[in-house]
Structure 1
């Protein structure tokens, strides 16, 4: 017998939801667990990272960038609501781009070259640390196997990211003058998108997590995502053998 698909979470009117404001506050309250307080990011923004360490961060973050389209596709596949699927599907195009020269992935490859990495060594993932691969794969598996509302809630780290990325650009321009300015295109494109997307993502979570159990699951999902990001930095900070040295040149 074919198993019936799960029922879609009903959109509960805001005035009938249990503790909607306190729910939003609990999500925002995870701000201090975001990865910007990790020791590696503190060094990255204070100018204390070596060129090799900065390249290692860029090379490993590529694996996370690759995951984003697949995890968003998983959220769409798990969602029975056509209006949500249509809206969330826009993220696929933003990351993959209309062609190989546009989109989030293309911008990240430009960043890699701007910090002195060869495109080939990014694409073949030779510098991806085991811990980073394990953390990112775990995040993808989470979005593939959990209800779509939890996958969306996990994406709420984008509430915390725009200011952090803006600070990164300022810090890098100040401390790492050897970075080619073309590499900042990723952040210039992503910061306004993240500000816009985060507001809508929060609205989706608040609208569709109408029970106390769903709200707790959403909070847990965002906490899990924060742990994924920090685990990635643990692995990057560990600095396994064979980390990228980059091309020779000023500051490299």
Structure 2
């Protein structure tokens, strides 16, 4: 069998049915999801100092705060009202609503709890260039590719709950500057992510009707794993190996 490349599933991958598609998607997650990245092993294992954790939370905020923009673009791709109705709760999950906080506010509780100024975090002035490039590429992907691929790119949510559980337990155990009150974002996603992932999985299985369409679905998921992976590559290079680019956040504690 031809090997999977950095950007696409193997050309001879078996994708003759919806079940074949699901098996291939789960194989992609098992080998390419960013829970496997060395930076996450350091983060969850208590091997980072506070400044390095601050850098991770600061950069990740740009991704979190861009998710509603991405989801608004996804909604704009669909004439089908039922799909728009199903998808729009994702925006509320992150933006919140009148009288209720969303994921962005919960993430700011984390960055604030780590000692970062909210105005600085929200400005995104201190993030790594690679963070901005990767996240913006994700928004462009869902705008420019097919609606099927736009939905497929969200399927990393299939693998998120295990990562969130590992993050909650690992960070609470290993860091005395982390407390349960700043980890509410991850606790809430334990409920939201499976709901979102199940809809997206059912959608692509029902609507990717040919091997070519199933291959496009797989490649969209690979693209998304790359978006997540490269952000951690940048964090590792800057804050573990010490190559912080000019103008990016420099922790007070190194």
State the TM-score, normalizing by the size of structure 2.
Answer: 0.87
For the residues of structure 2 that align with 1:237 and 1:99, how far apart are their CA atoms? 38
2:22 alignment counterpart: 24
TM superposition shift of 1:79 = 1.5
Q: Secondary structure at the match of 1:127?
A: coil
For the residues of structure 2 that align with 1:110 and 1:137, how far apart are their CA atoms? 24
For the residues of structure 2 that align with 1:68 and 1:169, how far apart are their CA atoms? 21
For the residues of structure 2 that align with 1:174 and 1:243, how far apart are their CA atoms? 26
TM superposition shift of 1:162 = 0.5
TM superposition shift of 1:77 = 0.8
Q: Secondary structure at the match of 2:183?
A: helix
- 2:243 maps to 1:245: no
Quick check: 1:63–1:133 contact (8 Å CA) kept in 2?
Answer: yes
Once the two structures are superposed, what CA deviation does each residue of 1:168-198 show, in whole Å capped at 9, x if it has no partner? 0000011012124311111111111112221
Quick check: 1:52–1:243 contact (8 Å CA) kept in 2?
Answer: no
Quick check: 2:154–2:221 contact (8 Å CA) kept in 1?
Answer: yes
Once the two structures are superposed, what CA deviation does each residue of 1:75-101 show, in whole Å capped at 9, x if it has no partner? 111122211111011111111111486
Q: Secondary structure at the match of 1:89?
A: helix
Quick check: 1:45–1:168 contact (8 Å CA) kept in 2?
Answer: yes
- Structure 1: gaps spanning 5 or more residues: 1-16
Quick check: 2:42–2:48 contact (8 Å CA) kept in 1?
Answer: yes
For the residues of structure 1 that align with 2:62 and 2:188, how far apart are their CA atoms? 19
For the residues of structure 1 that align with 2:250 and 2:147, how far apart are their CA atoms? 37
TM superposition shift of 1:18 = 3.9
Shift >3 Å, 4+ stretches:
none
Q: Secondary structure at the match of 1:29?
A: helix
1:6 alignment counterpart: none
For the residues of structure 2 that align with 1:180 and 1:221, how far apart are their CA atoms? 36
CA-atom RMSD in angstroms: 1.8
Distance 1:91 1:51, change over 3 A: same
For the residues of structure 2 that align with 1:215 and 1:151, how far apart are their CA atoms? 13
For the residues of structure 1 that align with 2:27 and 2:88, how far apart are their CA atoms? 28
For the residues of structure 1 that align with 2:204 and 2:100, how far apart are their CA atoms? 33
Quick check: 1:149–1:208 contact (8 Å CA) kept in 2?
Answer: yes
1:57 alignment counterpart: 56
Matches within 5 A, 1:46-85: 46-85=45-84
Quick check: 2:172–2:179 contact (8 Å CA) kept in 1?
Answer: no
State the TM-score, normalizing by the size of structure 1.
Answer: 0.87
For the residues of structure 2 that align with 1:53 and 1:112, how far apart are their CA atoms? 12
TM superposition shift of 1:121 = 1.3
Q: Secondary structure at the match of 1:98?
A: coil
Once the two structures are superposed, what CA deviation does each residue of 1:37-92 show, in whole Å capped at 9, x if it has no partner? 11111111111111111110100001101211111111111122211111011111
